Amino acid sequence: MKESRFDTIARRGLLLPAETREQIRATGIRCRPQLEIVYQQQSKLWKLRGEESGGAVELLGHYVGFVDKRGNTIPWLQRVQNFIPNGTHAIVVTGELVRVEVFRYEKTYDLLITKHWLEGDANRRPELRSAILFLGRNGSLETELWDRDSVFRGAAMPRFYQRSGEPGGPDSIWTESVMKATEGACCPGCRHSHLLVAATDCPETEERAEVMA
C-alpha cells in the first residue's frame, strides 16, 4: 500500500521543497529529524534512536528535539560537541518519544509534533509507528529571537491559525517544548541542546532517585 503524504510526514518529518533544503544545506545547518530502530545486545531490547540537531543563521533556522509523551524533558544518552556549529547536539535512545521540529524562514515558522513508538513481536524487529500530534504551516512570530530580541529565547513561540482565521496552535502540554524548539531555530551558530537534558537535570530521573532512596 502506498504511503500517504501525512504518513510520510509523521515518519520522516517536515517535507520541505527541494530549493528550501538546498538553501538550508548552503547555510551549514544540519538538522536530522529521521529516527532509527536499534537493537541493544545486552538488554535484548529494540529501541528508537534520535539526534537532537540543527540551529540557525539570521535568515532561517531548522531544529529538531525530543520530549516524552507528556511533554516533559528526557535525558540524553550522549552529548555531542562539534567544532562545526548547527549540527548534532545530543543523542537519545529510548522506547517511545515525541519529536518536535521547527523550521523558520525570517519570521515565518512551520511546526511539526509527532509521537513515535515501536510495535510488534518481541522476537523480531518491530515496526516504527508514528502519529502527527500537530502540524502547523506559516505560523508567525514578530519577535526577532536571533538578534535584537534574543533575551526572549525560550519564552516565545509562533502563532498558528486555521484557514478560518481562528487560533489553531498545539495543545498546551507542548507549549514549553515548542518554545525550546523555537529557541533552537533562532540560535545562530548553535552548539548546545535545547530540549534533551543531562540525566541529573531531568525531573523524572530525580524522582526515581528519591523513590529508590
pLDDT of residue 210: 41
DSSP secondary structure letter of residue 3:
P
CA 152 to chain centre: 20
The set of cell numbers assigned to 147 is 538578534
What pTM, to 2 d.p., does this model score? Answer: 0.91
* The pairing of beta strand 60-67 with beta strand 127-140: unpaired
What does the domain layout of the chain look like in residue ranges? 5-212
pLDDT of residue 211: 36
Overall size of the chain counted in residues: 213
Grouped pLDDT means (10 residues each) for the chain, 213 residues: 86 95 94 96 94 97 97 96 93 97 97 96 87 96 91 93 91 97 96 94 54 35
pLDDT of residue 123: 74
- The answer to whether the CB of 37 falls within 8 A of the CB of 68 is no
DSSP for 161-213, written as a single string: B-TTSSB----GGGHHHHHHHHHHTT-BT--S-SS-B-GGG-HHHHHHHHHH-
> Which amino acid, one-letter code, is at 6?
F
Which of these, 142, 135, 181, lies nearest to 162 by C-alpha position? 135
